[in-house]
Amino acid sequence: MIRPNGEILNNSIKILITARAGSRRIKNKNLVLFNGAPLIFPTFLAAKESNLTHEIYVSTDCPKISELAQQNKIFTISRPKHLALDTTSSDAVIEHFINKVCAPKDVIILLQPTSPLRDHHDVRKAYNIFLESKDTVISVFKPIHHPLKSVILRDNKCSPWGEFIGNEREQDLPEVLSFNGAIYVFTAAEFMKKNTIPKEFTPYIMPYLKSIDINEANDLKIAQIFSRYEL
Protein backbone atom coordinates (compact mmCIF):
# COMPACT_ATOMS: atom_id res chain seq x y z
CA MET A 1 0.00 0.00 0.00
CA ILE A 2 1.28 3.49 -0.90
CA ARG A 3 -0.09 6.50 0.96
CA PRO A 4 -0.46 9.93 -0.74
CA ASN A 5 2.75 11.13 0.96
CA GLY A 6 4.72 8.36 -0.76
CA GLU A 7 4.84 6.14 2.31
CA ILE A 8 4.93 2.44 1.44
CA LEU A 9 3.42 0.12 4.02
CA ASN A 10 3.76 -3.63 3.63
CA ASN A 11 3.35 -6.04 6.52
CA SER A 12 5.32 -8.71 4.65
CA ILE A 13 8.47 -6.54 4.97
CA LYS A 14 10.38 -6.80 8.22
CA ILE A 15 13.46 -4.73 8.99
CA LEU A 16 15.98 -6.37 11.31
CA ILE A 17 18.67 -4.37 13.11
CA THR A 18 21.29 -6.52 14.82
CA ALA A 19 22.89 -4.88 17.85
CA ARG A 20 24.44 -6.91 20.65
CA ALA A 21 25.84 -5.34 23.82
CA GLY A 22 29.47 -6.43 23.53
CA SER A 23 32.21 -5.57 21.06
CA ARG A 24 35.81 -6.68 20.79
CA ARG A 25 37.43 -3.46 19.56
CA ILE A 26 35.19 -0.59 20.69
CA LYS A 27 33.52 -0.93 24.09
CA ASN A 28 29.71 -0.71 23.81
CA LYS A 29 30.18 0.07 20.13
CA ASN A 30 26.51 0.35 19.22
CA LEU A 31 26.02 2.96 21.95
CA VAL A 32 29.21 4.97 21.43
CA LEU A 33 28.48 8.59 20.52
CA PHE A 34 28.34 9.43 16.83
CA ASN A 35 27.66 13.11 16.17
CA GLY A 36 26.23 13.44 19.67
CA ALA A 37 23.88 10.43 19.59
CA PRO A 38 24.34 6.66 20.00
CA LEU A 39 25.82 4.98 16.93
CA ILE A 40 22.65 2.95 16.47
CA PHE A 41 20.50 6.07 15.93
CA PRO A 42 21.31 6.62 12.22
CA THR A 43 20.19 3.05 11.56
CA PHE A 44 16.96 3.60 13.51
CA LEU A 45 16.35 6.68 11.34
CA ALA A 46 17.20 4.92 8.08
CA ALA A 47 14.76 2.13 8.91
CA LYS A 48 11.91 4.40 9.98
CA GLU A 49 12.34 7.08 7.30
CA SER A 50 12.44 4.47 4.54
CA ASN A 51 8.65 4.25 5.13
CA LEU A 52 8.69 0.65 3.94
CA THR A 53 7.13 -0.91 7.02
CA HIS A 54 6.24 -0.34 10.65
CA GLU A 55 7.64 -3.78 11.48
CA ILE A 56 11.12 -2.74 12.55
CA TYR A 57 12.93 -4.95 15.05
CA VAL A 58 16.22 -4.78 16.89
CA SER A 59 17.77 -8.07 18.00
CA THR A 60 19.78 -7.38 21.15
CA ASP A 61 20.89 -8.61 24.56
CA CYS A 62 21.44 -5.05 25.79
CA PRO A 63 18.84 -3.42 28.11
CA LYS A 64 19.94 0.08 27.08
CA ILE A 65 19.51 -0.68 23.37
CA SER A 66 16.10 -2.20 24.13
CA GLU A 67 15.15 1.00 25.95
CA LEU A 68 16.29 3.18 23.05
CA ALA A 69 14.36 0.98 20.62
CA GLN A 70 11.19 1.34 22.69
CA GLN A 71 11.61 5.12 22.80
CA ASN A 72 11.83 5.09 18.99
CA LYS A 73 8.80 2.77 18.57
CA ILE A 74 10.95 -0.12 17.40
CA PHE A 75 10.20 -3.67 18.48
CA THR A 76 12.79 -5.65 20.42
CA ILE A 77 13.73 -9.30 19.93
CA SER A 78 15.44 -10.45 23.12
CA ARG A 79 18.60 -12.25 22.07
CA PRO A 80 19.74 -15.19 24.24
CA LYS A 81 23.29 -15.11 25.58
CA HIS A 82 24.52 -17.90 23.31
CA LEU A 83 23.63 -15.70 20.32
CA ALA A 84 25.46 -12.63 21.69
CA LEU A 85 29.03 -13.94 21.69
CA ASP A 86 32.04 -12.74 19.69
CA THR A 87 31.83 -16.02 17.78
CA THR A 88 28.10 -15.78 17.00
CA SER A 89 27.39 -15.60 13.28
CA SER A 90 24.91 -13.20 11.73
CA ASP A 91 23.19 -16.20 10.18
CA ALA A 92 22.41 -17.63 13.63
CA VAL A 93 20.87 -14.32 14.72
CA ILE A 94 18.80 -14.09 11.53
CA GLU A 95 17.56 -17.66 11.97
CA HIS A 96 16.49 -16.84 15.54
CA PHE A 97 14.64 -13.77 14.26
CA ILE A 98 12.87 -15.71 11.49
CA ASN A 99 11.74 -18.39 13.91
CA LYS A 100 10.34 -15.71 16.23
CA VAL A 101 8.40 -13.41 13.90
CA CYS A 102 8.62 -14.32 10.20
CA ALA A 103 6.54 -16.21 7.68
CA PRO A 104 8.29 -17.82 4.67
CA LYS A 105 6.97 -15.15 2.27
CA ASP A 106 8.33 -12.28 4.36
CA VAL A 107 11.00 -9.99 2.96
CA ILE A 108 13.77 -9.24 5.46
CA ILE A 109 15.88 -6.09 5.27
CA LEU A 110 18.93 -6.49 7.47
CA LEU A 111 20.63 -3.28 8.66
CA GLN A 112 23.74 -3.18 10.84
CA PRO A 113 24.40 -0.18 13.13
CA THR A 114 28.06 -0.11 12.07
CA SER A 115 27.06 1.59 8.79
CA PRO A 116 25.94 5.01 10.05
CA LEU A 117 26.27 6.78 6.67
CA ARG A 118 23.72 4.52 5.01
CA ASP A 119 20.42 6.43 4.96
CA HIS A 120 16.74 5.84 4.17
CA HIS A 121 17.29 6.60 0.48
CA ASP A 122 19.75 3.72 0.30
CA VAL A 123 17.31 1.36 2.00
CA ARG A 124 14.53 2.24 -0.43
CA LYS A 125 16.83 1.97 -3.45
CA ALA A 126 18.04 -1.46 -2.37
CA TYR A 127 14.46 -2.62 -1.84
CA ASN A 128 13.43 -1.32 -5.27
CA ILE A 129 16.26 -3.31 -6.85
CA PHE A 130 14.98 -6.35 -4.97
CA LEU A 131 11.49 -5.81 -6.44
CA GLU A 132 12.88 -5.41 -9.96
CA SER A 133 15.37 -8.28 -9.82
CA LYS A 134 13.31 -10.69 -7.70
CA ASP A 135 16.67 -11.63 -6.23
CA THR A 136 18.61 -11.20 -3.00
CA VAL A 137 20.18 -7.72 -2.88
CA ILE A 138 23.33 -6.85 -0.93
CA SER A 139 25.02 -3.46 -0.71
CA VAL A 140 28.56 -3.22 -2.02
CA PHE A 141 31.07 -0.58 -3.10
CA LYS A 142 33.92 -0.31 -5.57
CA PRO A 143 37.18 -0.45 -3.59
CA ILE A 144 39.83 2.19 -4.17
CA HIS A 145 42.57 -0.45 -4.37
CA HIS A 146 41.99 -3.58 -6.42
CA PRO A 147 42.17 -6.62 -4.11
CA LEU A 148 44.00 -8.68 -6.75
CA LYS A 149 46.93 -6.30 -6.29
CA SER A 150 47.17 -7.40 -2.67
CA VAL A 151 49.55 -10.04 -1.37
CA ILE A 152 49.21 -12.92 1.06
CA LEU A 153 51.44 -12.75 4.15
CA ARG A 154 52.63 -16.04 5.66
CA ASP A 155 55.59 -16.47 8.01
CA ASN A 156 56.74 -12.92 7.28
CA LYS A 157 56.89 -13.67 3.54
CA CYS A 158 54.60 -12.20 0.89
CA SER A 159 53.24 -13.98 -2.16
CA PRO A 160 50.75 -12.79 -4.83
CA TRP A 161 47.19 -13.96 -5.31
CA GLY A 162 47.41 -16.84 -7.78
CA GLU A 163 48.61 -15.69 -11.21
CA PHE A 164 48.55 -11.98 -10.38
CA ILE A 165 51.88 -10.40 -9.46
CA GLY A 166 50.78 -6.85 -8.69
CA ASN A 167 52.07 -4.96 -11.74
CA GLU A 168 49.00 -5.51 -13.93
CA ARG A 169 47.17 -2.53 -15.32
CA GLU A 170 43.99 -1.81 -13.38
CA GLN A 171 41.89 -1.86 -16.57
CA ASP A 172 43.12 -5.38 -17.38
CA LEU A 173 41.86 -6.82 -14.13
CA PRO A 174 38.28 -8.11 -13.63
CA GLU A 175 35.86 -5.63 -12.08
CA VAL A 176 35.36 -6.32 -8.40
CA LEU A 177 33.08 -5.01 -5.67
CA SER A 178 33.43 -5.27 -1.89
CA PHE A 179 30.81 -5.86 0.78
CA ASN A 180 30.14 -2.87 3.03
CA GLY A 181 27.75 -4.55 5.49
CA ALA A 182 25.12 -1.81 5.18
CA ILE A 183 22.05 -3.48 3.61
CA TYR A 184 20.88 -7.03 2.90
CA VAL A 185 17.47 -7.76 1.34
CA PHE A 186 16.23 -11.34 1.04
CA THR A 187 13.22 -13.53 1.72
CA ALA A 188 12.83 -15.71 4.78
CA ALA A 189 12.16 -18.67 2.48
CA GLU A 190 15.44 -18.22 0.57
CA PHE A 191 17.39 -17.86 3.80
CA MET A 192 15.89 -20.99 5.33
CA LYS A 193 16.90 -23.18 2.38
CA LYS A 194 20.47 -23.28 3.71
CA ASN A 195 20.16 -21.15 6.87
CA THR A 196 22.27 -18.43 5.32
CA ILE A 197 21.90 -15.34 3.16
CA PRO A 198 22.13 -16.50 -0.49
CA LYS A 199 25.67 -16.24 -1.86
CA GLU A 200 24.60 -15.15 -5.34
CA PHE A 201 22.83 -11.80 -5.41
CA THR A 202 22.13 -8.57 -7.25
CA PRO A 203 24.30 -5.70 -6.01
CA TYR A 204 23.22 -2.33 -4.73
CA ILE A 205 26.33 -0.25 -5.37
CA MET A 206 26.94 2.49 -2.82
CA PRO A 207 29.57 5.25 -2.95
CA TYR A 208 32.85 4.48 -1.25
CA LEU A 209 32.41 7.43 1.13
CA LYS A 210 29.07 6.06 2.40
CA SER A 211 30.48 2.57 2.91
CA ILE A 212 32.51 3.12 6.09
CA ASP A 213 31.99 0.14 8.41
CA ILE A 214 32.73 0.95 12.05
CA ASN A 215 35.12 -1.64 13.45
CA GLU A 216 37.79 0.49 15.13
CA ALA A 217 38.04 3.94 16.71
CA ASN A 218 39.61 5.42 13.58
CA ASP A 219 36.64 4.26 11.50
CA LEU A 220 34.39 6.27 13.80
CA LYS A 221 36.51 9.41 13.34
CA ILE A 222 36.52 9.02 9.55
CA ALA A 223 32.74 8.46 9.42
CA GLN A 224 32.13 11.56 11.54
CA ILE A 225 34.19 13.62 9.09
CA PHE A 226 32.38 12.19 6.05
CA SER A 227 28.99 12.78 7.71
CA ARG A 228 29.52 16.54 7.49
CA TYR A 229 29.18 16.42 3.72
CA GLU A 230 26.36 15.51 1.36
CA LEU A 231 27.48 12.13 0.03
Measured CA distances, 208 to 50, 82, 145, 181, 226 (Å): 21, 34, 11, 12, 11
H or E element at residue 221: helix 217-226
Partner residues linked to 151 by β-bridges:
160
Neighbouring CB atoms inside 10 A of 27's CB total 9
Are 72 and 155 in the same domain?
no
Domain count of the fold of the chain = 2
Euclidean distance between CA atoms 158 and 194, whole angstroms: 36
Tell whether 137 and 161 lie within a shared domain.
no
Give the pLDDT of residue 7.
47
Asked if residue 71 and residue 160 are part of one domain, the reply reads: no
Partner residues linked to 57 by β-bridges: 16, 75
Same-domain pairing of 20 and 122: yes
Is residue 95 domain-shared with residue 67, that is, in the same domain? yes
* Predicted local distance difference test score (pLDDT) of residue 4: 42
CB 118 within 8 A of CB 183: yes
Range of the domain at 206: 13-142+177-226
In a shared domain, residues 23 and 135:
yes
Do 87 and 26 fall into the same domain?
yes
C-alpha distances in Å from residue 85, one per residue of 21, 65, 98, 144, 180: 9, 16, 19, 32, 22
Residue 54 phi, psi (nearest 5) = -95, -5
Domain match, 84 and 161 both: no
Do 88 and 170 fall into the same domain? no
Q: What is the mean pLDDT of each run of 10 residues along the chain (231 residues)?
A: 45 92 86 95 97 96 96 95 92 96 95 97 98 97 87 91 73 90 97 96 96 93 90 69
162 and 134 part of one domain:
no
Can you give the pLDDT at residue 165? 67
Give the pLDDT score at 11. 56
